[in-house]
């Protein structure tokens, strides 16, 4: 894997302001950062050993940001049942494999919203220390849910009353959580929990959000039921995860307060359409179909109203595999988002939600070298991002984790 300086020559660069590609640029990266962006032909002294990539006709975009994943899960159909029986080291090795698959697909940053045994926090540290290949990981530790609420027993700890919620959030922060997850309603994946029912009260949510924000952490709230969504918005969460039953009032509240929607369209779609014949438990399939229609209608209404959108897949739910994250962009576009907006939701806007604007999400001098070189124009065909053959290079904080480019100078015969 190449770690040294890289120069993309004569490439078209995605500009988040004009929402178009600007051609004829050289982009020089060193020390893990984007060092210099200049018109091709501008003299630039690059150090010996710089990898020169002739990129005429190719497209450079920021690395993707998935705001909702579970890297400890590979997306097997009934992984919930299996997970609890597996020894911790086995789960850790699988998580390492999932992290590598994610970054090699061009997803250079993720927010992991819940894992047992703080495995997501340990994984984030292992990647940060250079022990493992993976994306930058913001990890929540466990999510926090009410007794018997969605996520309990696998990715969430239980709490009742504002004081207990506060304590559980503090425990995640003590363990090293860099983001916080709260559960504001029922959901699809937990047996016996109704996605239409709200869970934490407004006071409980306020306590959790307050603790997180005091520590400068971004809060994502799992919220499918209308009342749960409204409670979460009023409590001041940064993002509504899923947002299945958004009514007009909820949409107005989100638009006026700037609350992000991380819809995770892929999750219920895959659960419902793969179905019991593929091994998804019947209770999940039933609930998947129950949420699907409203979920898509809510997303359409939210984008019409100008609600802020950030991309998230809920990777780890059945048939929602690490490395397949970019299918979410195609789903968003199918429901009415423009390809440029889908790309922004997966880069610049996602970075803004995660408070990483000064680190990643855009192609600017000084930001981390999180970049994808594509052989096809994603604005003409958004599915290019989900096509491994179109992804020529992935740089993750300057490390070249994917390199599928023809040799600039073919080796000479000896
Ligand atoms: Zn999730």
CATH of the domain at 180: 3.20.20.140
Ligand 1 midpoint to CA 4 (Å): 36
- CA–centroid distance, 407 to ligand 1, in Å, is 41
Q: How confident is the model at residue 406 (pLDDT cuts 50, 70, 90)?
A: low
Is residue 345 located within the same domain as residue 395?
Answer: no
Give me the pLDDT at residue 320, please. 96
**Domain membership of residue 222 as a residue range:** 64-353
Ligand 1 center–CA 204 separation, angstroms = 20
What average pLDDT does the structure give for the chain?
95
In a domain, 414, yes or no: no
Residues 183 and 271 in one domain: yes
Q: Do 270 and 392 sit in the same domain of this protein? A: no
SS3 of residue 279 by DSSP: coil
pLDDT at 411 over 70: no
pLDDT band at 193 (very low <50, low <70, confident <90, very high): confident
Residue 413 domain-assigned (yes or no): no
100: number of Cβ within 10 Å: 18
Closest-CA residue to 332 (of 298, 377, 355): 298
Distances (CA, A) of 163 to 142, 173, 207: 17, 15, 7
Q: How distant, in Å, are the alpha carbons of 15, 22, 317, 341, 374 from that of 19?
A: 6, 10, 32, 8, 16
Query: Is 147 domain-assigned?
Result: yes
Cα 28 to averaged position of ligand 1 atoms, centre (Å): 36
Cα 165 to averaged position of ligand 1 atoms, centre (Å): 19
The alpha carbon of 41 and the centre of ligand 1 are apart by a number of angstroms equal to 47
% of the chain residues with pLDDT over 70: 97
Q: How far apart, in whole angstroms, are the C-alpha atoms of residue 315 and residue 295?
A: 17
User: Domain check: are 56 and 72 in the same one?
Assistant: no
- Whether residues 313 and 386 share a domain: the answer is no
Q: Are 18 and 122 contained in the same domain? A: no
Would you state the pLDDT for residue 190?
Answer: 83
* Whole-number pLDDT of residue 2: 81
Is 1 inside any structural domain? no
Among 395, 328, 381, which residue's Cα sits nearest to residue 106? 395
The token pair that represents 342 in the structure block:
């889908």
Residues 20-66 have pLDDT tens digits of 999 999 999 999 999 999 999 999 889 999 999 999 999 999 999 99
Phi-psi region of 10 (alpha: psi -120 to 50; beta: other; left: phi over 0): left
Residues near 297 by Cβ (< 8 Å), separated by ≥ 6? none
Is 412 within a domain?
Answer: no
Domain assignment of residue 213, yes or no: yes
Ligand 1 centre distance from Cα of residue 282 (Å)? 19
Tell me the CA–centroid distance for residue 68 and ligand 1, in Å: 6
Ligand 1 centroid – CA 300 distance (Å): 21
In a shared domain, residues 246 and 172: yes
Give 414's pLDDT tier (boundaries 50, 70, 90).
very low
In this predicted structure, the answer to whether residue 405 has a pLDDT above a threshold of 90 is: no
Residue 280 placed within a domain: yes
Give the distance (Å) from ligand 1 centre to CA of residue 44. Answer: 45
Number of domains in the chain: 2
Please report which helix (H) or strand (E) contains residue 332, including its range. helix 327-334
Helix (H) or strand (E) holding 136: strand 136-139
Per-residue pLDDT of 365-397, as tens digits, reads 999 999 999 999 999 999 999 999 999 999 999
- Looking at per-residue pLDDT, the higher value among 192 and 15 belongs to 15
Q: How many angstroms is it from 252 CA to the middle of ligand 1?
A: 24
Instruction: Provide, for the chain, the percentages of residues in helix, strand and coil under a 3-state DSSP scheme, each rounded to the nearest 5.
Output: 35, 25, 40
**Top-confidence residue, 193 or 309:** 309
* H/E run at residue 9: strand 6-15
Question: Is residue 13 located within the same domain as residue 139?
Answer: no
Whether 409 is covered by a domain: the verdict is no
Same domain, 398 and 265: no
Looking at the fold, whether 35 and 184 belong to one and the same domain comes out as: no
Q: What is the CATH number of the domain that holds 15?
A: 2.30.40.10
Tokens (6 digits) for 121: 């926090």
Nearest C-alpha neighbor of 241 from the set 174, 318, 171, 315: 315
Instruction: Give residue 93 CA to ligand 1 midpoint distance, Å.
Output: 20
Gap from CA of 70 to ligand 1 centroid (Å): 6
Q: How far is the CA of 116 from the centre of ligand 1 (A)?
A: 13
Residue 184 near residue 229 (C-beta atoms within 8 A): yes
Separation of 219 CA from ligand 1 center, angstroms? 13
- Between CA 135 and CA 128 the distance in angstroms is 9
Same domain for 128 and 12: no
Q: Rounded to the nearest whole angstrom, what is the distance from the C-alpha of residue 242 to the centroid of ligand 1?
A: 9
Distance 112 CA to ligand 1 centre (A): 8
CB atoms closer than 10 angstroms to residue 247: 14
What is the per-residue pLDDT for 1?
75
For residues 159-164, average pLDDT: 98
Tell me the C-alpha to C-alpha distance, in Å, between residue 13 and each of 49, 56, 62, 81.
Answer: 24, 11, 9, 45
Same domain, 111 and 242: yes
Instruction: Give residue 265's pLDDT.
Output: 98
Q: To which residue do tokens 């499918």 refer?
A: 224
Determine the average pLDDT of the residues in 305-333.
97
Residue 153 has pLDDT above 70, yes or no: yes
Q: Find the 315 Cα to ligand 1 centroid distance in Å.
A: 7
36/31 Cα distance (integer angstroms): 12
How far away, in angstroms, is 216 Cα from ligand 1 center?
21
CA of 114 relative to ligand 1 center, distance in Å: 7
Instruction: Check pLDDT > 60 for residue 176.
Output: yes
Which pLDDT band, with edges at 50, 70 and 90, does 334 fall under? Answer: very high
Over residues 104-127, the mean pLDDT reads 97
């Amino acid at each position: 894997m190449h770690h040294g300086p890289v120069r993309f020559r004569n490439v078209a660069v995605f500009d988040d302001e004009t929402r178009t590609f600007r051609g004829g640029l050289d982009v020089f990266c060193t020390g893990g950062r984007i060092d210099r962006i200049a018109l091709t032909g501008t003299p630039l002294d690059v150090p010996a050993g710089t990898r020169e990539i002739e990129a005429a006709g190719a497209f450079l975009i920021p690395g993707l940001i998935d705001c909702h994943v579970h890297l400890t899960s590979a997306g097997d159909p009934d992984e919930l049942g299996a997970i609890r029986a597996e020894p911790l080291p086995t789960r850790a090795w699988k998580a390492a494999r999932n992290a590598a698959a994610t970054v090699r697909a061009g997803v250079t940053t993720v927010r992991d919203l819940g894992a047992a045994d703080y495995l997501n926090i340990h994984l984030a540290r292992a990647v940060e220390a250079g022990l493992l290949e993976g994306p930058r990981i913001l990890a929540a530790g466990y999510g926090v849910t009410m007794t018997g609420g969605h996520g309990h027993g696998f990715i969430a700890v239980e709490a009742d009353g504002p004081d207990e919620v506060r304590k559980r959030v503090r425990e995640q922060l003590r363990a090293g959580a860099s983001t916080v997850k709260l559960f504001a309603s029922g959901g699809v994946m937990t047996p016996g929990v109704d996605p239409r029912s709200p869970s934490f009260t407004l006071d409980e949510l306020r306590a959790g959000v307050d603790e997180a924000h005091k520590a400068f952490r971004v809060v994502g709230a799992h919220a499918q039921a209308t009342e749960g969504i409204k409670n979460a918005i009023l409590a001041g969460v940064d993002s509504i995860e899923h947002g299945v039953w958004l009514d007009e009032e909820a949409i107005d509240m989100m638009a006026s307060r700037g609350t992000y929607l991380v819809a995770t369209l892929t999750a219920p779609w895959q659960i419902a359409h793969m179905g019991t014949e593929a091994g998804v438990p019947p209770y999940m399939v039933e609930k998947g179909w129950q949420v699907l229609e409203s979920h898509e209608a809510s997303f359409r209404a939210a984008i019409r109203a100008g609600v802020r959108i950030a991309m998230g897949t809920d990777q780890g739910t059945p048939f929602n595999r690490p490395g397949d994250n970019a299918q979410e962009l195609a789903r968003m576009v199918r429901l009415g988002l423009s390809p440029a907006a889908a790309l922004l939701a997966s880069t610049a806007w996602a970075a803004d939600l995660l408070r990483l604007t000064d680190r990643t999400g855009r192609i600017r001098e000084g930001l981390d070298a999180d970049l994808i070189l594509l052989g096809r124009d994603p604005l003409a065909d958004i599915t290019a991002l989900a096509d491994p053959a179109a992804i020529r290079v992935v740089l993750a904080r300057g490390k070249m984790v994917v390199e599928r480019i023809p040799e600039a100078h073919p080796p000479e015969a000896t």
